[in-house]
C-alpha cells in the first residue's frame, strides 16, 4: 500500500495539472473551465488509485484482480462530459477542443494516479502549449481567411441573429462570437435603474469567402437596427496602434 503522504501527493498533483489546463479554457470562456478539468483529473487519479490499491487481497488470486479494468472505464466513460461541451450550429461545430482537453485530463489523472509523474506532468505542459501557442500560430497561418469583425451596437433581442443572417447571405462563416457588455447601471441604496440604451461590443471571428464585396457587406451590417459602427480588427489596430 502507498503511504498517506504519497496518496495526498498524487491527488494534489493531479488537481494542479487539471487546474493548469482548466485555467486556459476558463480564460477563453469555454463550456468547461477550471473546476471541470480539476474534477476530471482528480477523479481519474482516485479511480486509478482504487484500481491499483483498493482491492488488494480481495480478488480470487489474492491480488485484487487486474487494475487496468477499472481504469479503462475512465477512458470510455469520460465521453459523456466531452459530448456536453460540443455545440453544433448549422455547419459550425464548437467545443471539440474543450472536449479533447477533458479527455486528455482523464489520461493525465490516470498517469499521476499510477505514479507515472513524468508522463502526466509533461503531458500537462504540452497540452497547455498546444492550447495557448498553437492557437496563436493557427491564427497567423490562416490570417488571410480568418478575420475578426468588431461591431458596436445597442443591446436588443435578436440583434446577433439579424447580423448572422447578413453574414449567411454573404457566405461569411462565423467561427466564434464574444460579447463585451459594459452595463450602464446606476445603483443606490433604495433604487436600481438600468440604461435602456446599453451599448455592447460584439466580436465575430469569421471565415471569409474567396470573394467578398467589403463595402456592400458593411453597408448591410450598418443598416441593422441598433448597430452604431463596424470595423475589422486589423483596421482598428492600424488606426490606434497603441
Q: Residue 213 phi/psi, 5° resolution? A: -80, 100
Domain boundaries, the chain: 4-137, 146-239
Rounded Cα–Cα distance for residues 10 and 12 (Å): 5
Across 21-25, 26-30, 77-81, 102-106, the highest mean pLDDT is recorded for 102-106
- 192 forms beta bridges with 187
Q: What is the mean pLDDT of residues 212-225?
A: 89
Confidence of residue 142 (pLDDT cuts 50, 70, 90): low
Q: In the CATH scheme, what architecture does the domain 146-239 have?
A: 2-Layer Sandwich (3.30)
Encode 150-170: b = buried (16+ Cβ within 10 Å), e = exposed.
bbebebeeebbeebbeebeeb
pTM for this predicted structure = 0.52
* Strand partners for 103: none
Query: What's residue 224's pLDDT?
Result: 93
Range with the poorest average pLDDT among 48-52, 134-138, 160-164, 194-198: 194-198
Name 182's Cβ contacts closer than 8 Å, sequence gap at least 6: 198, 199, 200, 201
pLDDT of residue 150: 92
* pLDDT winner (highest mean) among 15-29, 51-65, 149-163, 174-188: 149-163
Residue (of 143, 209, 205, 146) closest to 172 by Cα position? 209
Is pLDDT of 242 > 50? no
Burial class (CB in 10 A: 0-12, 13-18, 19+), 124: buried
Asked if residue 112 lies in contact with residue 17, where contact means CB atoms within 8 angstroms, the answer is yes
Amino acid at each position: 500500500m502507498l503511504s498517506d503522504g504519497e496518496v495526498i501527493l498524487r491527488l494534489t498533483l493531479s488537481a494542479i495539472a487539471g487546474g493548469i489546463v482548466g485555467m486556459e479554457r476558463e480564460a477563453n470562456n469555454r463550456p468547461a473551465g477550471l473546476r471541470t478539468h480539476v474534477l476530471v483529473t482528480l477523479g481519474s487519479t482516485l479511480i486509478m488509485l482504487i484500481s491499483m490499491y483498493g482491492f488488494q487481497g480481495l480478488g480470487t488470486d489474492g491480488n485484487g484482480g487486474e487494475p487496468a479494468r477499472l481504469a479503462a472505464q475512465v477512458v470510455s466513460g469520460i465521453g459523456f462530459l466531452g459530448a456536453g461541451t460540443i455545440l453544433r450550429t448549422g455547419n459550425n461545430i464548437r467545443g471539440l477542443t474543450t472536449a479533447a482537453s477533458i479527455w486528455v485530463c482523464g489520461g493525465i489523472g490516470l498517469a499521476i494516479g499510477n505514479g507515472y509523474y513524468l508522463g502526466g506532468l509533461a503531458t500537462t505542459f504540452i497540452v497547455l502549449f498546444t492550447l495557448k501557442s498553437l492557437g496563436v500560430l493557427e491564427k497567423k497561418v490562416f490570417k488571410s481567411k480568418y478575420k475578426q469583425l468588431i461591431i458596436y451596437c445597442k443591446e436588443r433581442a435578436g440583434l446577433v441573429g439579424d447580423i448572422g443572417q447578413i453574414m449567411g447571405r454573404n457566405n461569411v462563416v462565423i467561427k466564434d462570437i464574444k460579447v463585451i457588455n459594459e452595463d450602464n447601471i446606476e445603483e443606490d441604496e433604495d433604487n436600481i435603474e438600468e440604461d435602456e440604451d446599453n451599448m455592447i461590443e460584439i466580436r465575430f471571428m469569421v471565415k471569409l469567402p474567396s470573394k467578398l464585396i467589403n463595402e456592400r457587406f458593411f453597408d448591410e451590417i450598418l443598416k441593422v437596427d441598433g448597430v452604431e459602427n463596424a470595423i475589422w480588427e486589423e483596421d482598428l489596430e492600424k488606426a490606434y496602434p497603441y
